[in-house]
Chain A
Amino acid sequence: MARVAPTKKEKTNTLRAFLVELAVYAVFVTGYFFLVLHYLSGWLQELHLHHVKFYALVAIVLIIGQAVVLESITTWLLRLLRGGRSE
């Protein structure tokens, strides 16, 4: 089936939706870092010194968590605000 080229209005809407999602995501990602820094910094340092295998596991969970969970929350939040519509 042939693909139909999007109109200029559709392109603008898609770009706007993407930029809004990106802005919300940026706020979450930054907030996430400060939360980790404030609450987990000391604990992570302790793990790095004395429980290095557990530290390795926590490090991977934290970095993937920042990537996956926050994006899912952003998408869910925006869908909720748009009343279930996806642009």
Chain B
Amino acid sequence: MDFPISHSHISPVYLVAIGFLIGVMGGFFGVGGSFIAGPALRAVGLDWNFAVGTDLAHIVGKSVVAAKRHRALGNVDLKLGLIMAVGTMGGAEVGAQLIQMLKRTGNVNFVVSVVSIVIYVSISSFMVWEAWRTLQYQKKRRPRAKVPGTAAKQDESSFSHRTDAIQRFKLWPMISLPASGIKAISLWIIILVSFIGGLFSGFLGGGAGYIRMPMLVYVLGVPTHLAVGTDLFEIIISASYGTFSHAIKGNVDILIALVMHTGAAIGAQIGAISTQYFAGPKIRLAFVPLPLIGAAIVIYTLFTGHKL
């Protein structure tokens, strides 16, 4: 099929299949999936600028579908998502400025590649360790809900003693997040977490759901199902901003995005519904390969010089 805006010729079946795969992943894990979509579009000959912009446009649509479904399942904390959007915007701008600074020194590719490999491998290693320990711990005793009535959404973590300490840290203003079962937490901690997510988004590209979702669980103490839904809600805001920004630079082929979204919209619904059948630690354990795929792509690019 010809796409006149980007002057490209791509099979719509391929685009729908890629969209579907990313949609399932997005709905289930709360990530944008740009680390797969970008290389997948590049692999069929789309220019990098169009691959990045078009990927962001399809992420907006897919995140809307998945977040809507998660909201119906009670998995979105709107208050937390809106607060986080502020920090994400700030972080993304600082990340983009860092990239510009590295460009001037001339070693942007090497620094970004090394940082991303370290981050991806660290996240995966930590999550394997934590989810495995939690699952072993759960086998020994029955899970106990912290907040009455939220038993299905509460999940245990072997890292929860650290999370509790973070929640006890009193730095005014303290806010409550009833939807996430958090009685009080400093606003600044939420802003810091979202700022770091935004920083990585601006620095490494994509929506940075691979870092934001684990931070929501381990730093803020948001139950995994709510972390997935809230992350998706937050991605809508940040990806819309990114799409608009890329579109006015002429980097978005909306027709390609719409074809991808045909598959992604279906996949996102399936992914979101599937979370209801898995406990938090199992979702976290299944999340582990995603950052490793990202790391493998970066290592390949670093050693061969070819962008996937």
Binding site for B on A (CB under 8 A): 1-3, 18, 22, 25-26, 29-30, 32-33, 36-37, 41, 44-45, 48, 52-53, 55-60, 62-64, 66-68, 70-71
Contact of A66 among B250, B265, B270 (CB under 8 A): B265
Contact of B258 among A2, A26, A57, A62 (CB under 8 A): A62
- List chain B residues, Cβ under 8 A from A37: 255, 258
- Cβ of A22 to closest chain B Cβ, rounded Å: 6
- List chain A residues, Cβ under 8 A from B265: 25, 29, 66-67, 70-71
In the bound complex, do residue A59 and residue B152 qualify as a contact, i.e. CB atoms below 8 Å apart?
no
In the bound complex, do residue B61 and residue A67 qualify as a contact, i.e. CB atoms below 8 Å apart?
yes
The verdict on B83 contacting chain A, using a C-beta distance below 8 Å, is no
In the bound complex, do residue A48 and residue B60 qualify as a contact, i.e. CB atoms below 8 Å apart?
no
In the bound complex, do residue A60 and residue B243 qualify as a contact, i.e. CB atoms below 8 Å apart?
yes
In the bound complex, do residue A66 and residue B261 qualify as a contact, i.e. CB atoms below 8 Å apart?
yes
18 chain-A/chain-B pairs, Cβ below 8 angstroms:
A3-B151, A3-B152, A26-B262, A33-B258, A37-B258, A41-B4, A45-B5, A55-B254, A56-B244, A59-B254, A59-B257, A60-B247, A63-B58, A63-B254, A63-B257, A64-B64, A66-B258, A70-B265
Chain B: interface size category: 20 to 34
Q: Check A67/B261 contact, CB under 8 A, given A53-B248, A56-B248, A56-B252.
A: yes
- List chain A residues, Cβ under 8 A from B249: 52
- Cβ of B253 to closest chain A Cβ, rounded Å: 8
In the bound complex, do residue B61 and residue A59 qualify as a contact, i.e. CB atoms below 8 Å apart?
no
Question: How far is it, in angstroms, between the C-alpha of A12 and the C-alpha of B278 when the chains are bound?
Answer: 17
The verdict on B305 contacting chain A, using a C-beta distance below 8 Å, is no
The verdict on B65 contacting chain A, using a C-beta distance below 8 Å, is yes
The verdict on B196 contacting chain A, using a C-beta distance below 8 Å, is no
In the bound complex, do residue A29 and residue B266 qualify as a contact, i.e. CB atoms below 8 Å apart?
yes
Question: How far is it, in angstroms, between the C-alpha of A44 and the C-alpha of B4 when the chains are bound?
Answer: 10
In the bound complex, do residue A1 and residue B149 qualify as a contact, i.e. CB atoms below 8 Å apart?
yes
- Interface code B21-61, partner A: CB below 8 Å = 1, 0 otherwise? 00000000000000000000000000000000000011011
- List chain A residues, Cβ under 8 A from B273: 18
Query: Which B residue sits closest to A26, measured CB to CB?
Result: B266
In the bound complex, do residue A63 and residue B57 qualify as a contact, i.e. CB atoms below 8 Å apart?
yes
Question: How far is it, in angstroms, between the C-alpha of A36 and the C-alpha of B258 when the chains are bound?
Answer: 9
Query: Which B residue sits closest to A62, measured CB to CB?
Result: B254
- List chain A residues, Cβ under 8 A from B58: 63
- Interface code B55-80, partner A: CB below 8 Å = 1, 0 otherwise? 00110111011001000000000000
Question: How far is it, in angstroms, between the C-alpha of A48 and the C-alpha of B265 when the chains are bound?
Answer: 25
